[in-house]
Chain A
């Protein structure tokens, strides 16, 4: 329990709440990097997944690339890119996007592939064209799985954005790095628990998104 006491003492110290090294700044950086990486990964993963899922082509290639990206050790990618192009936001983005694309891409692909063929027949029977079937039928039906992939990606990104501190661009990981260097354990605890809290918050956010975005009919089908 003293873990939480330590956290409380640290977080309630007003010194943590101001200046360039305070919680608001670090938290802001962390959220910003994570959101940017997730947005980029979504922009790559969803369209590619939708097209490959819809046409049924390139599925094997998609899965292979996603597999490969999943096996890549993020920290190695980050440090290699830092050595190649120097310290900055770009290496962190490359590493985080490489981490976030596979779950989004594969879930989108699987979601679209999993749409009931009878529904697609019905949509075509109603005179929908290929892109209409994709956007009006396959995308909404696949949405729960796509959101699930985005949630998986978001949690991994939030947790891994911690390593941004190791290449000197801030974020909540900074508290962990500095705390370790100065042997101030309360700082390490503070930084770590803030990351945990942020990840839990992201999970809750995706529950809400799911509630509001997924069509009511699909939600009922899922609940039965």
Chain B
């Protein structure tokens, strides 16, 4: 490093569009696609597990095993099959988000009070309409808590994809920064990655507030209930339920 300043603003100004902007866009894409894929699989899977509860223990074990498989190792194992396409990063990260999202969706659906469900049945709601108009909205806060953890974790993990050469802000850190012993790109990469994570997190909080207006003002109460629930269900050690409530803590 020597007598070189920690941040060279002129480098940032000169490289704002090309390496920095390009890498940021790659990063956004590499993070958002797995989150969306995870969501698209986790919600139906969670609904199925909540409906046929005998399915859940085996799905839960499967999800726990996925959680234990390090994404970094998966990046390298997939490389010969998927090559330097984005799938090499997208598949492991999708599996990882799945491991966080499924238990949260199921937990959220389990929380639907019996009397609410019975009221919906008494009002003549068909099972599908009950699911969409009553049960899923009630499950939303817990599901979004899981989504927030999954999103922040994925955005920070995408950086590792650069070790395999897949782009993203990690590439800025590794190629422009580390290989040239030049701290500015590393700091830019870290700052942008953290900002992106916070931005997405904030958007999800906002989304939850807009989608569940009835929870406003009683968020603390909701959190207490979910903490109590998790405590009661701790026998099966869910990695995601705890992370879910952890994130809920930040609200």
Footprint of B on A, CB under 8 Å?
A: 3, 59, 63-64, 66-68, 70-77, 79-80, 82-84, 103, 106-107, 109-110, 113-114, 144-145, 148-149, 151-152, 155, 158-160, 162-163, 166, 176, 180, 185, 188-189, 191-193, 195-196, 199-200, 202-203, 206-207, 210, 219, 221-224
- For the A-B complex with A152-B243, A188-B76, A191-B73 known, give 15 more contacts whose Cβ atoms are closer than 8 Å: A71-B197, A72-B193, A73-B193, A75-B159, A80-B183, A83-B186, A145-B231, A145-B234, A163-B72, A176-B73, A195-B72, A196-B68, A199-B70, A203-B68, A222-B231
Q: Which of A107, A196, A219 contacts B246 (CB 8 A)?
A: A107
Could you say which residues of chain B place their CB within 8 Å of the CB of A222?
A: 231-235
Contact call A70/B70, Cβ cutoff below 8 A = no
A219 to B182, CA, bound (A): 52
- Nearest CB in chain A: distance from B32 CB, A: 16
A210 to B236, CA, bound (A): 11
Binary interface encoding of chain B residues 55-82 relative to chain A, with 1 for a CB under 8 A from any of its CBs, else 0: 0000000001101111111101101100
Contact call B170/A76, Cβ cutoff below 8 A = yes
Contact call B194/A71, Cβ cutoff below 8 A = yes
B137-195, CB < 8 A from A: 152-153, 155-160, 162-163, 169-170, 173-174, 177-178, 181-183, 186-187, 189-190, 193-194
Contact call A79/B186, Cβ cutoff below 8 A = yes
The reply on B239 being an interface residue by CB < 8 A is yes
- Nearest CB in chain B: distance from A169 CB, A: 15
A221 to B230, CA, bound (A): 12
Contact call A151/B239, Cβ cutoff below 8 A = yes
The reply on B211 being an interface residue by CB < 8 A is no
Give B177's nearest chain A residue, CB to CB: A79
- Nearest CB in chain B: distance from A99 CB, A: 9
Give A67's nearest chain B residue, CB to CB: B250
Contact call B156/A70, Cβ cutoff below 8 A = yes
Could you say which residues of chain B place their CB within 8 Å of the CB of A151?
A: 237, 239
* Known A-B contacts A67-B250, A176-B76; A163 and B163 likewise in contact (beta carbons under 8 Å): yes
- Nearest CB in chain A: distance from B123 CB, A: 32
Contact call B155/A75, Cβ cutoff below 8 A = no
Give A147's nearest chain B residue, CB to CB: B237
Q: Which of A82, A159, A166 contacts B70 (CB 8 A)?
A: A159
B215-251, CB < 8 A from A: 227-228, 230-235, 237-239, 242-243, 245-247, 249-250
Contact call A74/B68, Cβ cutoff below 8 A = no
A149 to B157, CA, bound (A): 19
Contact call B162/A106, Cβ cutoff below 8 A = no
Could you say which residues of chain A place their CB within 8 Å of the CB of B155?
A: 71
A215 to B232, CA, bound (A): 15
Give B228's nearest chain A residue, CB to CB: A114
* Known A-B contacts A110-B245, A158-B70; A82 and B227 likewise in contact (beta carbons under 8 Å): no
A103 to B153, CA, bound (A): 12
Best-surrounded residue of B159, B170, B249 (most CB of chain A within 10 A): B249
Give B200's nearest chain A residue, CB to CB: A71
Contact call A73/B235, Cβ cutoff below 8 A = no
Contact call A149/B68, Cβ cutoff below 8 A = no
Nearest first, the 7 closest Cβ-Cβ pairs linking A and B are A159-B70, A73-B159, A222-B235, A71-B197, A192-B73, A76-B190, A79-B178
Best-surrounded residue of B76, B178, B197, B235 (most CB of chain A within 10 A): B76
A83 to B178, CA, bound (A): 7
Could you say which residues of chain A place their CB within 8 Å of the CB of B68?
A: 155, 196, 199-200, 202-203
Contact call A72/B194, Cβ cutoff below 8 A = yes
